Amino acid sequence: MISNLKAKLRTISSNSPSSSKTGPIQGELDRGDLGGSIIEGASGSFVLKTTSYSLATSYGDVCLDRLKSLDLSDSQWWTRLDQDIDTRDIVFLDTETTGLAGGTGTLAFLVGIGYLKGDRLVVRQYLARDFDEELPMLEAVTKELSNFKILVTFNGKSFDWPLLESRLVYSRLRPIAWEDSHLDLLYIARRLWGRKLKTCSLTSLEENVLSHYRTGDIPGYMVPEIYRAYLETRRPTDMLAVMDHNQSDILAMAALLIHIGGLFKDPIKSCDAWELFGVARDLERSLRLDQACDCYKYCIKGAKDSNLQLQAKKQLAYLLKRYKGPEAALGLWRLMADEESGQLIFPLIEMAKYLEHREKDFDTALLYTKRALEILDKGLAGYSARIKDDLIKRKNRLLKKKKGRERNGTYRRIV
Amino acid sequence: MNIDQMVDQLKNNRDFMANVTHWEEIQPKEASYGPFPDSLSPELIRVLADKGISRLYSHQAKAIELAGRGKNLVVVTPTASGKTLCYNLPVVNTILNNDDARALYLFPTKALSQDQVSELHEMLSRLDHPIKSYTYDGDTPVTARKAIRQAGHIVVTNPDMLHSGIMPHHTKWVKLFENLKYVVIDEIHTYRGVFGSHMANVIRRLKRICSFYGSNPQFICCSATIANPKELTERIIGQETELVDESGAPSGRKHLVFYNPPLVNRQLGIRKSSTLESRKLASSFLQNGIQTIVFARSRLLVEVLVTYLKQLVRDKLGKSNSVRGYRGGYLPNQRREIERGLRDGSIMGVISTNALELGIDIGHLQTCIMCGYPGTIASSWQQAGRAGRRQETAIAIMVASSNPLDQYIIQHPEYFLKASPEMGLINPNNLYILMSHIKCAAFELPFEDGEDFGVDSLQGILEYLEEEKVLRHVGSRWHWMTDAFPANAVSLRSAADENFIIIDITFAKHRVIGELDRFAAPMFLHEEAIYIHEGDQYQVEKLDFEEKKAYVRRVDVDYYTDANLAVNLKVLEVFDSQSDDRIGKGWGEVMVTALVTMFKKIKFDSHENLGWGQVRLPELDMHTTAYWLTLEQERPFGINSQDDLQNALVGIANVLGQIAPIYLMCDPKDINVIYQVKSPFTQKPTIFIYDSSPGGVGFSEKLFNIHLDLFEKAYEIIDRCSCDAGCPSCVGPAAEVSQQGKELALKVLGGILNDIQPQGQAEDNLLKLPFK
């Protein structure tokens, strides 16, 4: 009866039957092929592999010994955490999972964590060699994680941690509520390098920022497939590569944090123009305005990319206008209006606003307004219809004001 | 004229009455009340009093009392009889007593859930205790979702969202699942056929998750009138259910009129258009300022009628906004506005598809006109129920079209009035559907050895999925092991994603003009086919079979195309069969293959063949279930030639295809009829009726049980049809079935029915409840 059912299932199955029909191979669980030791807990066993790195180790351009001396006091303005960081309180975390789609049915079979211990960076990898090892593994991981105050991940806020959280809830274990003590380096990386690099993946950052080039690394998307193959064949080769990959990710996070910490500590000295722009935005956001102005200025000075330079000018001008008054921004607006002539509308609008409302110089304001309209009429893309409407309104208002003044005979010229 | 005068005037109008086949007057009914149950909190009683409710209708009191005793229940009472209080009161009362308690409301559509939420909010806002209810569906902003998961006492959603957006992420909904006290399923009668079979599995998954979190919710369901609300509910929720079906709500006098448009050509069986007749009737009501709803069977018809009636109303009232259309495809805001307008009376007339048949609150109208028989007895009553106020007279007029089903109903009003409405049939154990949901369930929580999921075959399916490397059996559990997110691959609404879309490329701006199901596509959308849509001709330029897209261009030609479809049906397994020396019947599993090989170009009017072309499309096959009837005799019922037999079978198949849906409460597209003059399986002339959805959803078994009823009705329809030799209202046009078609069909049907009494009691074993 059951074989009849299976035959039926096979015929109605829309996808072609999988190549092997032999059923699952229950390979023997290896004892030691993966390195590490087998931990026997109350609810089962799992593998724990501990690797410790001397702080003299370098990862690309970054030497890990800087982790110890890394000063992350006064860092909340860019970490956006609820506390300053002592590097001894940090735990780095990276998981390898059975799928990338998320949802309750995806689990992390490997959880790697890293932390500073004395003069070493310790990486501990918790591995479930099969689905029934997940629970004891998770119990041990949560226990160890509870020793730390700060969680550092790369893309962990939207991927690793929610996934673990979900599996912890499923296993009836209490997840740690990291909330504002979870530092996701991806977000910071995007602020610093999102404009410059095509992607902000960890590998891309390693190569472009840390000058580290992995060799023999397996691509992340292959991990679920490798685990499935391992479950069937129990051959350790590819799984060892996954574990190495996971270790590299943790080292990379440590190196990246060191590097980022340095950039924010002394931006003018350590940052390139791209990075300066990102740092300046964070400074501005936390109202460290003088420092922000400095960073924008250095960015403008050092930028080779004209668009970046323009963005920095624009950002700086708005900052000045907002916090120091319109006069402070005037120079920059005028510079942009003239220098980038025929291209930009916003400096013209800003100039017109200033001249109309502050200086009451309707003629010149009208000139700028008309020029902005001319540019728009050339059909430059990217401007909304509202901008044009506003400009026309401004033009009409200016004409009216001008006429009113001529009639009243109070015409006077400033500038 | 007011409504009573209008009714009198119609009654005295001889021209109108000549076409009325029946006029049913339903007497007004007094309200019957029941006491507030003791368990009801004083706060809630105060809120009800604020709303002007000082006592409950008897059905409400009974529902609340049953809910209080922990029973699952299904409430079946007419439209607008205060059904929502039957679940809102127990739910809110429970939350008032226990702030941790949670409830889940399921509505079949987003529009309905929004409607219900606004009503619920109104009630909650009068309470002293803050009870929060939220809609959680595809439109819910991401930023609001977290709060809803944590803090929503009542989460309102639809089965699709529950299936793919909530259950696969159940760990984010711990609060809800740990404390779930009530699951409310409104409009449960909509969950029949494929949709219902999916729904039953969604509920199986929901109950699994609840039991994981230690909750065991009660179900409160509401249904429109169908024959088997209790059984349908029990099959969907998999638990025993109490039925509350005696309405205590009052109703006014109601007239139900059956109107058959006059014949304009008797020989060809052509009648006046039901659309134009409906328009005429609707406009006379509208011009007298009587609020009227017109139900049309397609979106296109809705638009046609709206255009007509707006014109009329504009002339008389000087504005046209008092007549509106309402159908799927309108924006939510627009629909809300129309619903409001109907409630406050600023909109006088609305023309709707069956979208307004469901419980959307539009108040009570005075007149309902059904343009065409709505397809089932149950929806007819629901649509007619849109007209009816407590004190005033209401009238519902059904205007028949010329298709056989309409003609049967309009000529047999006694059948309509006496027959119990259709049954809601589902088959939760349809292998396709079951397997999809077992995958989803395994993703949500690993299966434990010995779990049953309500089916015997679970173990076998799990083993199969392990062989396919979808699951992994370790220890005593079956774990999900692939990279996929299974809920995304399963659509609850039958095989909608399998449809071909039809794209008009005549103008630079391409537009989608329609869709066609997978099995019809090769017939009508092969390259070079002339596809007729809304009366316009299009030629198919390209059929992208992989992408399921047909590109068509407007043409104006004097021919149409007719594709030659070879449908083959192979019986794979017989579940049951019976026969005597005259006829036999059976049902079982079949494989249907359809192949289009060529098409003919046929000139309009003259029907001369202008040429032909080849079609190169893959053969489609489908596993499903079928019912069949065989003619056991060598020369059945005195029919001597193969041609005659064939013509008889064509005609019978035409009628059966049209009327079988009446017994199955399904869309005519849900089943197909084919005949074989000599079936390779039975070796005899055989008529097969098979499910259009893979795996079948139970129609075949039902047909096997009702068996000859169907043929009796077919006989009656053909016999009583006034045409000479076949028309669209019976066997089909004579051109198709020959001049003797009608006579031959009757001969065969007469033979089938001879001496054999219809079997009634077989229905008893039709619904086997899953928990017994």
Exposed e or buried b per residue across A244-267, where buried means at least 16 C-beta atoms within 10 angstroms of its C-beta: bbbbbbbbbbbbbbbbbbbbbeeb
B456 touches chain A (CB under 8 A): no
Q: Where do the domains of chain A lie?
A: 33-265, 325-408
CB-count exposure of residue B260 (10 Å: 0-12, 13-18, 19+): buried
B491 touches chain A (CB under 8 A): no
pLDDT in tens, B542-579: 998 888 889 999 888 888 788 877 888 888 888 898 88
The pLDDT score that the predictor gives to residue B764 is 35
Same domain for B147 and B217, yes or no, is: yes
A-chain CB neighbours of B446 within 8 Å are 131
| Mean pLDDT for the stretch of residues B261-286 | 83
Domain of residue B509, residue span:
494-557
Same domain for B314 and B214, yes or no, is: no
pLDDT in tens, B7-51: 999 999 999 999 999 999 989 888 899 988 888 899 999 999 988
Contact B477 A131 (CB under 8 A): yes
A23 touches chain B (CB under 8 A): yes
A-chain CB neighbours of B480 within 8 Å are 105
The pLDDT score that the predictor gives to residue B433 is 85
Same domain for B39 and B23, yes or no, is: no
| Mean pLDDT for the stretch of residues B341-356 | 86
Helical residues (DSSP H) of A266-325, grouped into ranges: 267-270, 273-285, 289-302, 306-324
Question: Is residue B257 predicted with pLDDT exceeding 50?
Answer: yes
A10 touches chain B (CB under 8 A): yes
Contact B467 A99 (CB under 8 A): no
Contact A132 B432 (CB under 8 A): no
pLDDT in tens, B295-321: 988 766 777 788 778 877 665 555 667
Of the partner residues B168, B170, B472, the one whose CB lies closest to the CB of residue A231: B472
Cβ distance A207 to A189 under 8 Å? no
Contact B483 A224 (CB under 8 A): yes
User: For A18, which residue in chain B has the nearest alpha carbon?
Assistant: B468
- How close, in Å, is residue A1 to chain B by CA atoms? 9
B425 belongs to a structural domain: no
CB-count exposure of residue A292 (10 Å: 0-12, 13-18, 19+): buried
Helical residues (DSSP H) of B213-293, grouped into ranges: 229-237, 274-287
Question: How many other C-beta atoms can be found within 10 angstroms of the C-beta atom of residue B724?
Answer: 13
Cβ distance B395 to B254 under 8 Å? yes
Give the β-pairing of B292-295 and B349-352: parallel
Residue % of chain A over a pLDDT of 90: 59
Contact B479 A225 (CB under 8 A): no
Low-confidence winner among A366-375, B319-328, B539-548 (lowest mean pLDDT)? B319-328
HSE value, Cβ hemisphere, 13 Å, CA-based, for B321 = 6
Amino acid (1-letter code) at residue B496: A
- Selection from B481, B373, B444, B416 nearest residue B210 by Cα: B444
Low-confidence winner among A406-415, B50-59, B698-707 (lowest mean pLDDT)? A406-415
The pLDDT score that the predictor gives to residue B144 is 85
* Domain termination site, one of B451, B474, B489: B489
Selected residue of A104, A164, A222 to mutate for chain B interface (largest B Cβ count, 10 A): A104
- How close, in Å, is residue A113 to chain B by CA atoms? 23
- DSSP secondary structure string, B505-539? -SSSS-EEEEEE-TTTHHHHSSTT-EEEETTEEEE
Same domain for B601 and B656, yes or no, is: yes
pLDDT-based confidence at residue B760 (cuts at 50, 70, 90): very low
CB-count exposure of residue B742 (10 Å: 0-12, 13-18, 19+): buried
B107 touches chain A (CB under 8 A): no
- Selection from B254, B257, B223, B224 nearest residue B237 by Cα: B223
Domains contained in chain B, number: 5
Same domain for B184 and B52, yes or no, is: yes
Contact B477 A98 (CB under 8 A): no
A14 touches chain B (CB under 8 A): no
A177 touches chain B (CB under 8 A): no
- How close, in Å, is residue A321 to chain B by CA atoms? 32
pLDDT in tens, A40-61: 988 899 999 999 999 999 999 9
Cβ distance B573 to B590 under 8 Å? no
Of the partner residues A12, A131, A228, the one whose CB lies closest to the CB of residue B623: A12
| Domain containing residue B142: CATH number | 3.40.50.300
The pLDDT score that the predictor gives to residue A280 is 95
B416 belongs to a structural domain: no
Same domain for B553 and B567, yes or no, is: no
B200 belongs to a structural domain: yes
Which CATH number is correct for A33-265, 3.30.1330.10, 3.30.420.10, 3.90.78.10, 3.90.550.10? 3.30.420.10
Same domain for B588 and B734, yes or no, is: yes
Q: State the Cα angle at B708 between B703 and B710, rounded to 5°.
A: 65
B-chain CB neighbours of A10 within 8 Å are 464
Same domain for B622 and B700, yes or no, is: yes
Amino acid (1-letter code) at residue A341: S
The pLDDT score that the predictor gives to residue A25 is 42
pLDDT-based confidence at residue A27 (cuts at 50, 70, 90): very low
A131 touches chain B (CB under 8 A): yes
Same domain for B568 and B469, yes or no, is: no
| Mean pLDDT for the stretch of residues B465-494 | 88
The pLDDT score that the predictor gives to residue B445 is 95
Question: Is residue A19 predicted with pLDDT exceeding 50?
Answer: no
- How close, in Å, is residue B632 to chain A by CA atoms? 31
Cβ distance B89 to B41 under 8 Å? no
A-chain CB neighbours of B445 within 8 Å are 104, 170
A99 touches chain B (CB under 8 A): yes
A409 touches chain B (CB under 8 A): no
Same domain for B41 and B150, yes or no, is: yes
Selected residue of A131, A157, A164 to mutate for chain B interface (largest B Cβ count, 10 A): A131
A105 touches chain B (CB under 8 A): yes
Of the partner residues A24, A100, A224, the one whose CB lies closest to the CB of residue B466: A24
Same domain for B19 and B146, yes or no, is: no
B377 belongs to a structural domain: yes
User: For A108, which residue in chain B has the nearest alpha carbon?
Assistant: B481
pLDDT in tens, A108-147: 999 999 999 999 999 999 999 999 999 999 999 999 999 9
Question: Is residue B496 predicted with pLDDT exceeding 60?
Answer: no
Q: What is the ipTM of this complex?
A: 0.83
Question: Is residue B245 predicted with pLDDT exceeding 80?
Answer: yes
Alpha carbons B697 and A233: distance in angstroms, whole number: 41
B618 touches chain A (CB under 8 A): no
| Mean pLDDT for the stretch of residues B652-669 | 77
- How close, in Å, is residue A221 to chain B by CA atoms? 10
pLDDT in tens, A55-113: 999 999 999 999 998 999 899 999 999 999 999 999 999 999 999 888 899 999 999 99
The pLDDT score that the predictor gives to residue B269 is 67
B630 belongs to a structural domain: yes
Mean pLDDT of chain B: 84
A84 touches chain B (CB under 8 A): no
- How close, in Å, is residue B63 to chain A by CA atoms? 36
Contact B460 A2 (CB under 8 A): yes
Cβ distance B91 to B44 under 8 Å? no
How far is it between the farthest Cα atoms of chain B?
Answer: 82
User: For B166, which residue in chain A has the nearest alpha carbon?
Assistant: A103
Same domain for B372 and B478, yes or no, is: no
Question: Is residue B322 predicted with pLDDT exceeding 60?
Answer: yes
B421 belongs to a structural domain: no
Cβ distance B693 to B495 under 8 Å? yes
Low-confidence winner among A203-207, A269-273, B543-547 (lowest mean pLDDT)? B543-547
- How close, in Å, is residue A110 to chain B by CA atoms? 15
pLDDT in tens, B379-425: 888 888 888 766 788 999 999 987 777 887 888 888 788 776 777 77
pLDDT-based confidence at residue A346 (cuts at 50, 70, 90): confident
The pLDDT score that the predictor gives to residue B766 is 33
User: For B164, which residue in chain A has the nearest alpha carbon?
Assistant: A103
A27 touches chain B (CB under 8 A): no
| Mean pLDDT for the stretch of residues A179-196 | 94
